[in-house]
Structure 1
Amino acid sequence: MKNWVKICFFFLLITIFIIPLAACNKKEVLNVKVAEVTHSIFYAPQYVALEKGFFADEGLKVELTTTAGGDKTMTALLSGGADIALVGSETSIYVYAQGSNDPVINFAQLTQTDGTFLVSRNKIENFSWNQLKGSTFLGQRKGGMPQMVGEYVLKKHGIDPKTDLNLIQNVDFANIAPAFASGTGDFVQLFEPTASVFEKEGKGHIVASFGTESGHVPYTTFMAKQSFMKENKQAIEKFTRAIYKAQVWVKSHSAKEIAEVIKPQFEDTDLAIIETVVDRYKSQGSYATDPVLDEEEWNNLQNIMEKAGELPKRADYKTLVNTDVANKVK
C-alpha cells in the first residue's frame, strides 16, 4: 500500500512541476505575413534569414509573398493582406502625401543603393556617360525609384533625359528586358540577375552601375502601418533582430557562401550567376550592414524624388522613420 502511495505521489510531482515547465519552454510562434515588391538577389539578406533559420530562432513563422510592383505591395499592406512590406521608401511618402491617418513607417533598411545597371547593346571599351547623348535609352517605369535614380544620375553627368536622348518609359517592368533583347534601345537600365545573364549570353554589356553613381539611399526597406507596430511590438523587434543577424552574416561571408545559402530561393538561376550578382552587390555596398535608416539617406531619397518631379511633399524623417527597434537590436 505504501508503495502505491509513493507511485501516486511521484506522478503527482510530474504533473505539478515537469509538464508546466515543458509548456513554458515551448516557444510561442508568431505568424508574420511579408509582401516583397519583387523576388530578387538584391534582397539576399532576407533570404539568408529564411534559409539559415534566423526568423525561426526568434519564434517567427514568416509567410513571404511576392506582390510584383510597389503599388500592389502597398495595397497589400494597407488592406491588411500583409503585416510587413519590403518595398521602396518612396511608397511611404506617397501614402503620407495622401493624408493617411495610419501612416506607413519605415523601421528596418535592407538595401542602401540603387540595384540597377546600365547595359549597352554594343561592347564599349572606354565608357563615358556622354555616349548616351543621341541614343535610345530604355528606362524604368515612371514614378518608381529605378526611374528616378536613373534620371538623377543622367542629370548628374550633364544629360537632360528629355532633350539629350530618346527616353522610353512606357514599357512595363516585366517586359523591359524582353524589349531590349528584341532590339529596342541602345542602352537599358536593368536589375540583376538579368544584366549578368544578358552579358553571359552576349545580348548586352554592363558598362556602369546606377547604385554606385547615386550614393546611399533607403532603396528598399521593411515597413508596417503605425497601428501594427504599436500593437505588435514583440513581432517587429523579433523580425528586425533576425534581419540584423542576416546582415551581419552576409557582411562576414563570401559571395560564394551567400549564393549557396540562398540558391533554394532561385532554383532556376545558375549558382555561378547568383554568386556573380551577390559579389557585384556586395562590392558596391548595396546590402545595408545594419537595419538603421539614417537621416542623410532619407534626405538624399527626397532630393532624388524632387529632381525627378515626383515628390508630392517633403516628409519629415521622424514622421515616417522609426529607428528605435533597429538601434535596440544593434
Structure 2
Amino acid sequence: MESFHVSATGHSLNYLPEYIAHRHEFFKDQGLNVTATIPSPWDKVLDDLATGTAAAALGGIWVPTMYRNRATSYTAFAQLANRCPLALLKRSRNKGFGLASSGMAGCTVLMKSSNGASVGLFFKMLLREHGIDPNSVHYVQDLDGAMLAKLFQGGMGDYFVVDNVTARVMAARDPDISIAMEMVTDGGVIPWSVYYTETASITPAVLDKQRRFCTALGSAMDWVVRHDAGLYKDELAEIFPAAPVEVLVELTNIYRCDGMWTTPSVTCDGFERWQQNLVDGCLIQEPFAYEAIVTNGPTAGH
C-alpha cells in the first residue's frame, strides 16, 4: 500500500465519491492508502502541497488558475464535482422563481466568503448570464456562513446563497424561507471541485499514483450514480452526522440525477465557462487554455 494524502478545503456532500471510494475500498484495490485532512484556514492546503505533506489538494480550480504565472504553478489532474452545490434562499413561500425576472437589482444578497472566493464568483457569474449587472446588487459576503444563516433568519438581506444541505434544513424549519433555486439543477456545468498538485512535483511515479487514484474515484462515482441513496442512508448518516438523514438522501439523489458526479476528467466546457468568469471577476486577465491548467493523463480511459 502506498500513501496518498489529500488536503481538502472542506467536508461536503459533493465530495461523496471520495468518501465512498475509501469506505468501499476502491482506493485499497488500487494499492493506495488514502487519507484526508481539512486544514484551517483552508489555504493551508497550499502549505501541505509545498511541504510534501499532501499528494493533492481538493478545492476550486480558480486557485491553480489565479496562481499561474504569478507564484507557484499548480496542475489539476482530476475533477470530483461537476456542478455547483449551492442554493439560493428567498424570503417567501411563493412558488415560481426566475433569476432574470426576479427583480434582483437593488436587493441585498448574503454570501459566505470564509472558505474562498468561489461562492461570490459563481453567483455573480449567474447574474451576468441572466442579464443582471452584478454591480446593481448589494452583497454581504465577508462573514462566516453560520453567522450569516442566523442573520438571514433574523431579517438581514433579501436572499442568501449557502450550501444546499444547509439551505434545505433552513427552508424546512422556517415557514418564512424557501429555496428559490438549486444550482446543481439550474446552475450549469462547472468544475467546482478538483484535485491539484504542484506542477514541479509531477514525476512518472506521481502520475502512476494519480492514475490509480482516479481509477478508484471513477469506480466510486459509478457506484454512487448506480445506487439510490436510500440504500446507503446509514453510511450517509455516519459521514455527515450533523445533517438530517432524509435531507442527505433526497439531495444525494438529486445530485445523482443532475450530473454532480460524471467522470474524474475535468470537463472542457465547464472549464472554459469558469475561465471567462475568472476574467470577469478580475482574478486573471485572460482565460488560460485547458492544457495550461489541466492534465488528463491520470484520467485517461475514464
In the aligned structure 1, how far is the partner of 2:264 from the partner of 2:167? 27
Equivalent residue in structure 1 for 2:251, among 265, 270, 277: 277
Alignment of 1:65-76 (within 5 A): 65-67=37-39, 71-76=43-48
Answer yes or no: is 1:240 the counterpart of 2:210.
no
Partner of 2:198: 225
**Higher share in helix:** 1
Contact 1:97/1:313 (8 A) holds in 2: no
Q: Matched residues in 2 for 1:64 and 1:212: separation?
A: 29
Matched, 1:296 2:269: yes
Q: Which region of structure 1 is more displaced relative to structure 2, 277-286 or 187-196?
A: 277-286
- Counterpart check, 1:262 vs 2:236: yes
- Any residues of structure 2 matched to 1:1-330 within 5 Å, and which? 29-67=1-39, 71-100=43-72, 103-129=73-99, 130-141=102-113, 144-163=117-136, 165-202=137-174, 204-230=177-203, 231-287=205-261, 289-328=262-301, 330=302
Distance in 1 separating the partners of 2:10 and 2:150: 17
**Does structure 1 retain, via aligned residues, the 8 Å contact 2:236–2:245?**
no
Between the aligned partners of 1:72 and 1:174, the Cα distance in structure 2 is: 21
**CA distance in structure 1 between the partners assigned to 2:155 and 2:143 by the alignment:** 14
Q: TM-score, normalised by structure 1?
A: 0.83
Equivalent-residue separation in structure 2 for 1:97 and 1:179 (angstroms): 40
Flag the structure with larger Rg: 1
Cα distance in 2, alignment partners of residues 312 and 70 from structure 1: 25
Q: Structure 2: where are the runs of 5+ without partners? A: none
- Which residue identity is paired with 1:107? F
Is the 1:47–1:262 Cα contact (8 Å) retained in structure 2?
A: no
TM-fit CA distance, 1:68: 5.2
Give, in whole Å, the separation in 1 of the partners of 2:32 and 2:146: 32
Deviation at 1:308, TM superposition (A): 2.3
How many residue pairs align between the two structures? 297
Q: What is the RMSD of the two structures over their aligned residues, measured on CA atoms?
A: 2.1
TM-score scaled to structure 2, two decimals? Answer: 0.90
